Amino acid sequence: MIIDREGPVPPYRQVADDLRRQIQDGTIPPGRRIPSMIELEATYGVARDTLRKATQVLKDEGLVRTVQGMGIFVVDRGDEGS
């Protein structure tokens, strides 16, 4: 994905939108770790601070959670309401 730095949507939102799409379409399934910051930097070509903002958006939406020392994982929402 190419980040549009001149567009109206901030880069961190573009990254968050792309990761959200991958979570929703199952490319990154529930319980799976999202790519590391190093991998995301290579994929999107943005600074680590931009990636932190993007992952915070997903955390705020309840789509991912941080596991200390292991990474950021997609929340398994299938267990909700059981």
Q: Are 50 and 13 in contact (CB under 8 A)?
A: no
Give me the phi and psi of 36, to 5 degrees please: -65, 165
Stretch 32-60: mean pLDDT, rounded? 97
Q: What is the mean pLDDT of the chain?
A: 94
- Structural domain span for residue 63: 11-77
Q: Which band of pLDDT confidence, cut at 50, 70 and 90, is reported for residue 78?
A: low
- Give the model confidence (pLDDT) of 2-42 as tens digits: 999 999 999 999 999 999 999 999 999 999 999 999 999 99
Q: Examine residue 26 and state whether it is found in any structural domain, yes or no.
A: yes
Total domain count for the chain?
1
What CATH number should be reported for the domain holding residue 45? Answer: 1.10.10.10
Q: Are 12 and 2 in contact (CB under 8 A)?
A: no
